[in-house]
């Protein structure tokens, strides 16, 4: 049942809520250092990564919302009123959903929570945040800043950063639930919310593809794909898990990738289990005939060098070239810096491998032909398509992100993400048109009205 949580914040004029968001942006910019420290402590990112991958995208999203929310959330008069409605006027108004729960993730703890929290509050909702147990410091500081920026009491609250708190939260009534995390947990949450017919936004994982077509720039493709593999220690739901490279450009691409892979240093993953899964899948792929890109040069007859196991949670980013299509690494069920590089003879073969996977958040297309990329883009089942790039364009504050099928449901960030935190309310003003329908007119008048309606919508022939 809807919470009908009409607190003082939901009644605050939009102009004042926009001013609150501007204050939050300035506070977060002023305290970017402590925010970066919290992210580093939670996730072992470098300070530069915390700044550029977490804090800066959040600040950009705030400014984008400040400038566009007044237009997106203002009352909108709906034109096109049928003539037979008389003097009817209809207005669409965006109103807050009510009480929103946000179950936060850890891999981009300020960016992702921030771009979900800001529109939910800007829309006028009351919000409860459940921080990730792996990133409690980041969430706690971000929530503190949002409250300090001037929210009324109890508009924003946070639970403890424990699994038990998450379980308890789902037993409470909410008007919307936002979750970012793994698909198994997302399915469990979907079942819980469906029992109450509570709508949800589920941002689940992707296992995405990079298509390197025969007319691609091999240097650009290798650098962009490898950069996305290494970004955030490979712990990005939009990072490519497989590169599908046309055989005519395969050698040139692999030579460029080899040079990059050889310079890779071990990176910390979130835990030892994540590093171990990457290592096991890489070793299995090499055992099936693949080769570590950081090993011998292309086409070397020497036996492959064994891949060193992780040291605790430290793991070296790894690309397996000549990876067999049947290797588990191609499926991409890992969350770390490892990628399968598969040789394909045609685009049709690449699409067949791509479509085996049931989780698509993004896809990358490397080609010199914009027309070809535009034609391929809608065939890939993803929400975000990157032409001659990987991952980074998704940080644009106007680009909504969200999955389909096993990658989730609903959109966050951008225009769609803001509107998703509201519901439309249609308010009409009329002169009692319904009253006129209670009494049927004389037959001659009814026939004339019928002819007029037929002519109005079908022309003289009708």
pLDDT digits (tens, 9 = 90+) for 78-102: 998 888 777 789 999 999 999 999 9
In order of their start, the domains of the chain are: 14-204+410-423 (3.40.605.10), 208-397 (3.40.309.10)
pLDDT in tens, 103-125: 999 999 999 999 999 999 999 99
Question: Could you give phi then psi for residue 71, rounded to 5 degrees?
Answer: -75, -40
CA distance 249 to 214: 6
Q: What ranges in 288-331 are assigned the alpha helix state H?
A: 328-331
CA distance 343 to 324: 9
- In this structure, the strands spanning 208-212 and 362-366 are parallel
pTM of the complete model beyond 0.95: no
Confidence of residue 384 (pLDDT cuts 50, 70, 90): very high
What's the token pair of residue 293? 């890109």
At CA 385, angle to CA 329 and CA 322, rounded to 5?
30
What's the token pair of residue 345? 């003879």
CA distance 282 to 304: 12
CA distance 417 to 413: 4
Tokens 């037959």: give the residue.
Answer: 443
Closest CA to 394 of 423, 371, 417, 370: 417
Confidence of residue 15 (pLDDT cuts 50, 70, 90): very high
Averaged over 255-272, what is the pLDDT? Answer: 96
Distance of CA 220 to the CA centre of its chain: 25
- Whether the predicted pLDDT of 191 surpasses 60: yes
Q: Are 44 and 268 in contact (CB under 8 A)?
A: yes
CA distance 49 to 45: 6
pLDDT in tens, 293-345: 998 544 555 555 678 899 999 999 999 999 999 999 999 999 999 999 999 99
Closest CA to 61 of 14, 21, 90: 21
Q: Is 407 helix (H, G, I), strand (E, B) or coil?
A: helix
Q: What per-residue confidence (pLDDT) applies to 304? A: 56
Q: In what order do the strands lie in the sheet with 156-158?
A: 156-158, 126-130, 99-103, 176-180, 200-203, 408-409
Q: What is the CA radius of gyration of the chain?
A: 26
CA distance 90 to 87: 10
Active site residues: 203, 237
At CA 75, angle to CA 143 and CA 412, rounded to 5?
40
More confident of the two residues 81 and 277? 277
């Amino acid at each position: 049942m809807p919470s009908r949580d009409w607190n003082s914040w939901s009644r605050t004029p939009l102009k004042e809520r926009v001013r609150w968001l501007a204050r939050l942006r300035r506070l977060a910019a002023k305290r970017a250092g402590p925010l970066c420290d919290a992210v580093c402590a939670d996730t072992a990112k470098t300070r530069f990564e915390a700044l550029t991958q977490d804090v800066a995208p959040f600040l950009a999203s705030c400014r984008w919302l400040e400038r566009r929310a007044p237009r997106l959330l203002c009352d909108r008069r709906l034109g096109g009123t049928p003539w037979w409605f008389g003097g009817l006027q209809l207005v669409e108004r965006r109103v807050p959903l009510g009480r929103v729960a946000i179950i936060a993730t850890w891999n981009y703890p300020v960016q992702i929570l921030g771009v979900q929290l800001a529109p939910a509050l800007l829309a006028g909702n009351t919000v409860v945040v459940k921080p990730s147990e792996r990133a409690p410091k980041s969430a706690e500081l971000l929530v503190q800043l949002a409250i300090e920026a001037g929210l009324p009491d109890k508009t924003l609250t946070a639970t403890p950063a424990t699994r038990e708190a998450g379980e308890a939260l789902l037993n409470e009534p909410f008007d919307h639930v936002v979750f970012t995390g793994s698909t198994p947990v997302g399915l469990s949450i979907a079942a819980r919310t469906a029992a109450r017919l509570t709508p949800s936004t589920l941002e689940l994982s992707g296992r995405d593809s990079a298509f390197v077509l025969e007319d691609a720039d091999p240097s650009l493709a290798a650098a962009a794909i490898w950069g996305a593999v290494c970004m955030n220690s490979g712990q990005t739901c939009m990072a490519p898990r497989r590169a599908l490279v046309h055989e005519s450009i395969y050698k040139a691409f692999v030579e460029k990738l080899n040079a990059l892979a050889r310079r890779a240093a071990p990176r910390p993953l979130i835990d030892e289990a994540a590093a171990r899964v990457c290592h096991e899948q890489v070793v299995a792929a090499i055992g099936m005939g693949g080769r570590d890109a950081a090993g011998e040069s292309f086409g070397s007859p020497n036996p492959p060098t064994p891949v060193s196991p992780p040291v605790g949670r430290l793991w070296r980013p790894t690309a397996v070239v000549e990876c067999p299509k049947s290797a588990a690494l191609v499926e991409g069920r890992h969350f770390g810096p490892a990628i399968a590089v598969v040789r394909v003879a045609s685009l049709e073969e690449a699409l067949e491998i791509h479509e085996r996977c049931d989780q698509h958040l993004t896809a990358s297309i490397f080609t010199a032909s914009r027309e070809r990329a535009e034609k391929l883009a809608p065939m890939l089942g993803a929400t975000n398509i990157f032409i001659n790039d990987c991952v980074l364009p998704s940080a644009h504050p106007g680009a909504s992100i969200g999955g389909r099928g096993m990658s989730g449901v609903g959109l966050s960030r951008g225009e769609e993400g803001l509107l998703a935190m509201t519901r439309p309310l249609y308010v009409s003003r009329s002169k009692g048109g319904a009253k006129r329908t209670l009494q049927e007119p004389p037959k001659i008048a009814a026939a004339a009205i019928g002819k007029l309606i037929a002519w109005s919508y079908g022309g003289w022939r009708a």
